[in-house]
Structure 1
């Protein structure tokens, strides 16, 4: 038996070395944390000591025939192996139960647990093997598409699904797509996925539209753009309500737009003020309500704003999100508002970013209905209805060019 000692920073690093030096049949005999270096016991660094071995009669596979190291995969496998090893050690230890039949029962249960663990490990290894063999099938064009979508911050689950469906189409047609064909298929698939969520503008049947969202996403400017479109182009009588009394000059900003558009505006400080505001605007055909931007990663703040959205009038709520925000933060905000039935979303500041994957993630993961896409500060021009094909061209733009 050939035994070798490794001192590494973490287990995945050791697994990679063991596989490459001793081969795939090597086993880990022991692991423990040690300290190395330092001076007189100080400033030493923590390392992992890993003891591995392989039977000397087993051939060490040539380096070029070995699987390329994958630290994430090997770490997952190592966790399962350690679990099996801990369970096996537990089986060898005699239980303290005084009765022989109870000892036998527990021993059988533990042995069955080990068998189940090994079976699960085998199934897991088969799945990993399939994924690795599939990754070798990816052409340079598919890899380029995958890299581009990752840069666009599209979730990995959707990238993987997209590549798998393109691979399936190639298999069905018995061909290998060139660059243009790969991106054409990506466009068609993304379009088909998003199509059920298209055409979801603000309903003509509602009288009150609430706009909610974090601070600085452009709610007030967006309201002005939509109000200008309705008053100038559609000839509707529009009114404003604002509850954004937290932000300095927020009321003045909306009042300025109201004066320019000759639109009446009411200010409310709590839910108690809403009946008065609606009474003052009873002759208006359409009312846009601006709410305060808060830290909507907090469900408490979401519930506070939601209390202002209750009305007997036909209404709907639109979540406003800025494309300059972090994808993770936007997802957290959307998750909280979805709990209160908010399903429509409007994206702003598209001119300030080149990353558009968050839009796809929010639509697909939370089944949000996109209404408008806004960019720039010009009222009322810098806003347009969400169109699936235009959005996908933005998402794939640098790939197609």
Structure 2
């Protein structure tokens, strides 16, 4: 058995030396840290010493295997030299055959390309399987392709999950009005004006002047944060605007929903009334005749459950609310957003609140929803803190976020 010592700055380095010298069959007998001799060794980092061993039979077998492999390589090299001339002749014949096939394929591809150009009037698209993040918009044959500047803005809108149809309309409008050769600043200014015009001016709660309470009802899908949003608005109107606020909840289906609103009401010092059926809503509102604002919380209802959704419709109708707020999460996908809007289209008039802006990296849903519905935007929420994390939507900031930057 061979026993050897190996030194390294660390264990890995020492073991690597063992493997390089003795191979993977080596056995590690001992590992320890040692210092070099001399005065300076006190200031130096200790070395790692590895004691390794390998059986003599294994070592001998290794040397034998190496010799055999060397002989085989020599024999193979000699055989290759003998067959070189024969192989060269065969390769020349194969090359001639391949060249003929390549020439035939080039001719065939050229014919297919020319036929495709004649049919479509443009070059075929790349067959690469890796598509770009945002593909160019589909354009009719009579349309010119977008300039580089407009294409960059189009891609920014798509990355922000603005629907393709809406993004294309915006870019087409700019292209027609100021042309494709416009500068970045002119294109950005035009798009800023178009998008901010679509978003419009946000509207908040319009209080009555006849000393009667303004009744507001909050509706929307499950999980969007209606109760927390209502509590934030209640806190703002009660603490900051010094208004008398009354709360009503019809969300008796969700676990602890009533207790959640009661907790907020207790902290804010506001009265809260619980109703269990649509026919109770008018009596509950009448109890707050001396209030400035009455806020009504509803349960999230799935439009797929017809009976529950019909109950929500009945509650909204019975409340005769002055204002209706449709609350939506900014994390909702485009498809789900369109489904929600379609199923809440029974509402005659409403305003839009978007929650969870802090959880969403893109805000295309806000522009998409405003474009599809034409309803006024209002508040947005940016966190869970009551009453701080709520504000009126900043149109300037939102428009700039949607446009993105041009590199």
Q: 3-state SS of the aligned residue for 1:208? A: strand
2:223 corresponds in structure 1 to 216
**Cα displacement (A) at 1:354:** 1.3
Instruction: Name the CA distance, whole Å, in 2 between partners of 1:400 and 1:287.
Output: 46
Are 2:193 and 1:188 equivalent residues in the alignment?
Answer: yes
Decide which of 385, 395, 400 is 2:402's aligned counterpart.
Answer: 395
Aligned to 2:163: 155
Deviation readout 1:160-207 (Å, 9 max, x if unpaired): 111112212333xxx723333322221122123333xx2422221362
The structure-2 alpha-carbon separation of the partners of 1:242 and 1:312, relative to structure 1 and needing over 3 Å to count, comes to closer
Give the distance between the partners of 2:111 and 2:220, measured in 1 at CA. Answer: 52
Which digits, 9 at most, give the CA deviation of each residue in 1:18-64, with x for residues without a partner? 852634457xxxxxxxxxxxxxxxxxxxxxxxxxxxxxxxxxx9xxx
Given that 2:207 and 2:293 are in contact with CA atoms closer than 8 Å, whether structure 1 keeps it comes out as: no
The alpha-carbon distance between structure 1 residues 207 and 400, as it changes in their structure 2 partners (threshold 3 A), is farther
Q: Does 2:204 align with 1:201?
A: yes
Alignment partner of 1:68 out of 124, 127, 131: 124
Q: Say if 1:297 and 1:329, in contact at 8 Å, map to a contact too.
A: no
- Tell me, what secondary structure is at the counterpart of 1:335? helix
Q: Which residue pairs with 1:34 in the alignment?
A: none
Matched residues, number: 284
SS of match in other structure, 1:244: coil
Change (3 A) 1:312 1:319: closer
- Match of 1:144? 152
Deviation at 1:345, TM superposition (A): 1.0
Contact 1:141-1:178 within 8 A present in 2 as well: yes
Quote the residue 1:383 is aligned against: 390
Equivalent-residue separation in structure 2 for 1:155 and 1:149 (angstroms): 8
Q: Give the TM-score, by structure 1 length.
A: 0.65
Structure ID, larger Rg:
2
User: What are structure 1's unaligned runs of at least 5 residues?
Assistant: 1-15, 27-60, 72-126
User: Structure 2: how far apart are the matches of 1:19 and 1:269?
Assistant: 71
Residue 372 to residue 244, structure 1, CA distance change in 2 (3 Å)? same
Q: Which residue of 2 aligns with 1:355?
A: 362
Query: Residue in 2 aligned with 1:331?
Result: 338
Hey, what does 2:266 align to over in structure 1?
Answer: 259
Q: Could you tell me which of 103, 115, 131 is aligned with 1:22?
A: 115
Distance 1:368 1:19, change over 3 A: farther
Do the aligned residues in 2 keep the contact of 1:335 with 1:366 (CA within 8 Å)? no
Q: CA deviation at 1:382?
A: 1.3
CA shift for structure 1 position 373: 1.2
Deviates more, 1:304-313 or 1:152-161: 304-313
Q: Deviations over 1:212-239 (max 9, x none)?
A: 0111111111111100111111111111
Deviation for aligned residue 1:380: 1.6
Whole-angstrom distance in 2 between the partners of 1:284 and 1:177 = 56
For 2:72, the equivalent position in structure 1 comes to none
Alignment partners' CA distance in 2, 1:355 and 1:17: 45
Residue equivalent to 1:179: 184
CA distance in 2, matches of 1:19, 1:244: 65
The separation in 1 between residues aligned to 2:366 and 2:304, in whole angstroms, is 18
1:242, 1:337 → 2: CA distance?
20
1-side partners of 2:371 and 2:286: how far apart?
A: 39
